[in-house]
Amino acid sequence: DASVDPWSDRIPIGDSMVGKGTKVRLRPRPGGDAQDFFLVGMDATVAGVFADVDGGRHVAVTLDDDPAAELNLAHGRFRYFHPDEVEPLPTEESSP
What residue ranges in 2-96 does DSSP mark as E strands? 10-13, 16-19, 23-26, 43-51, 57-63, 79-81, 86-88
pLDDT at 37: 85
Residues paired with 59 in a beta bridge: 49, 81
Residue 71 counted as domain residue: yes
Residue 18 counted as domain residue: yes
pLDDT interval class at 3 (50, 70, 90):
confident
The domain in which residue 14 lies consists of 10-88
Number of domains in the chain: 1
Residue 1 counted as domain residue: no
pLDDT at 1: 63
Domain containing 84 — which CATH number?
2.30.30
**Predicted structure pTM score:** 0.87
Other CB atoms within a 10 A radius of the CB of residue 44 amount to: 25
Residue 4 counted as domain residue: no
Residue 79 counted as domain residue: yes
The arithmetic mean of pLDDT across residues 16-43, rounded, is: 91
With b for 16 or more beta-carbon neighbours within 10 A and e for fewer, the 1-32 pattern comes to eeeeebeebebebeebebbbebbbebebeeee
Q: Give the tens place of pLDDT for each residue, 36-88.
A: 889 999 999 999 999 998 989 999 999 999 999 889 989 999 999 999 999 99
Residue 94 counted as domain residue: no
Residues paired with 57 in a beta bridge: 51
pLDDT at 33: 79
